[in-house]
Each structure stands twice: as structure tokens, then as C-alpha cells.
Amino acid sequence: MLVLTRKQDTTIRIGEDIVIQVIRTGKGSVKLGIQAPAHTRILRGELDEFPATLNVGASQELVTLEVA
């Protein structure tokens, strides 16, 4: 595991097309912004514990609500 210390408004690049930016740091929390291609799956760690079918269903429902 690579461990980095970054200040607010600094970035980390992963490969050619993924950028992680430190948006805000606070008391016990960090807010990150992630720029990645649309086909790149990004999940919070706790959501990765659920079966993929649950995540796909939730994503499809969200897209349906955004379009309507």
C-alpha cells in the first residue's frame, strides 16, 4: 500500500486518466474529488461488500430517476 500525505487542493494521478483531488480536510474526515472515464467503476469500500447485482439495480434506478 502506498501512503501519501497531501494538502487541500493537491492531486494524485493514477495512470493516464484518473485524477484524485483533495477538496477539503476537516476534523477526522477528508473530501475527495475523483475524475475518471465513465467506464471506470468507482465504489466506496463499504459498498463493495454487497453483491454486484444490488449495485447495478441501484445504478439503473438512479439513472431512470435522472432521465425522468
**Region at 56 (left for phi over 0; alpha for psi -120 to 50; beta for the rest):** alpha
Q: What is the pLDDT of residue 49?
A: 67
Over range 27-54, report the average pLDDT. 81
- Does the global pTM surpass 0.85? no
Are 60 and 68 contacting, i.e. CB atoms less than 8 angstroms apart?
no
Over range 17-42, report the average pLDDT. 91
> What residue segments make up the domains of the chain, in order of their start?
11-67
What are the grid coordinates assigned to 15, written together? 495512470
Residue 7 predicted with pLDDT over 80: yes
Residue 54 predicted with pLDDT over 80: no
